[in-house]
Amino acid sequence: MADVKNSKQELVKLMKEFLRIAPDLYLPAISIDPVVFSYHNGKLNVLVVRFAGSSGFGLPGGFVKKNEDIDAAALRILQEMTGINNIYLEQFYTSGKVSRYDKKVIRNLFIKRGLELPANNWMEQRFVSVCYYALVDAEKVMLKSMPFIEAFKWMDVKKLPRLSYDHNDIIGKAVSRLQSDLDNKLVEFKLMDETFTMKDLQKLYEIVYQKKMVRTNFQRRILNLGVLERLDKKYNGKSHKAPYLYRFARAK
């Protein structure tokens, strides 16, 4: 977890520059919100950030460049905001209620930093947000200091505070989608090591579904998916009770 404080003056300069270039650089009315889950320490966590000048946390969102595919924008934004790159992002929802946009929140944020906010500036338009989710191993990602970000935090999805905009609602939808997608996305998410035990995999499922599962039922369910290959046990001098190892089948 990083925690960076920019000097107030530097930040005001950055924000002014951003407001100046944004209308030429980005598509209007559209934002992107990446929901990055991790499953470290037996918990399902979600990555939130505190933007410079803001008192609360929110998703590490951003905007779409005028000549950029939205999928590419999602990857770039996540990289720019958190340093995370090269992960599998799945588009799952577009949030477009009028009420999700709160002009007052943005005004207060800027005014608190001593920034005079011109009327009809980039940040005060209504945004429809295209949302993506990812599931990563928190130990394998590195979060980097970014100019607009004061702090990163992995928060337990069960204990989220009130986040910016409608981000609590977006994260709730992402959890449901992650659960219903997990069987089909297991291989794509690249969450397991090259080989793993049934117990390793069950642990992942228990974290994502946030409940304990019965070993025999779980095993039947997973084997029915037809994506696993069981490796032959090699005699290694240890007890025969060593668990079977599995890997994902190549074909499919």
CB of residue 88 vs a second copy: minimum separation in angstroms? 17
Torsions phi, psi for 218 (to 5 deg): -60, -45
CB of residue 226 vs a second copy: minimum separation in angstroms? 17
Q: Give the nearer residue to a second copy in terms of CB position, either 85 or 176.
A: 176
CB of residue 140 vs a second copy: minimum separation in angstroms? 28
Q: Give the nearer residue to a second copy in terms of CB position, either 27 or 160.
A: 27
Q: Give the nearer residue to a second copy in terms of CB position, either 89 or 115.
A: 89
Query: Which residues on neighbouring strands pair with residue 147, listed in sequence order?
Result: none
CB of residue 48 vs a second copy: minimum separation in angstroms? 23
Residues that bind a second copy (CB under 8 A): 27-30, 64, 66-71, 73, 91, 93-94, 96-99, 126, 128, 130
* Sequential DSSP letters for the chain: --B----HHHHHHHHHHHHHHHHHHEEEEEEEEEEEEE-GGGS-EEEEEEETT-SS-B---EEEETTS-HHHHHHHHHHHHH---S---EEEEEE--GGG--HHHHHHHHHHTT----TT-GGGS--EEEEEEEEE-GGG------TTEEEEEEEEGGG--PPSTTHHHHHHHHHHHHHHHHHHHHHHHT-S-SSB-HHHHHHHHHHHHTS---HHHHHHHHHHTT-EEEPPPPP-SS-TTPPPPEEE-S--
Distance CA 217, CA 214 (A): 5
Q: Give the nearer residue to a second copy in terms of CB position, either 52 or 130.
A: 130
CB of residue 142 vs a second copy: minimum separation in angstroms? 28
Q: Give the nearer residue to a second copy in terms of CB position, either 91 or 145.
A: 91
Q: Give the nearer residue to a second copy in terms of CB position, either 132 or 154.
A: 132
CB of residue 69 vs a second copy: minimum separation in angstroms? 5
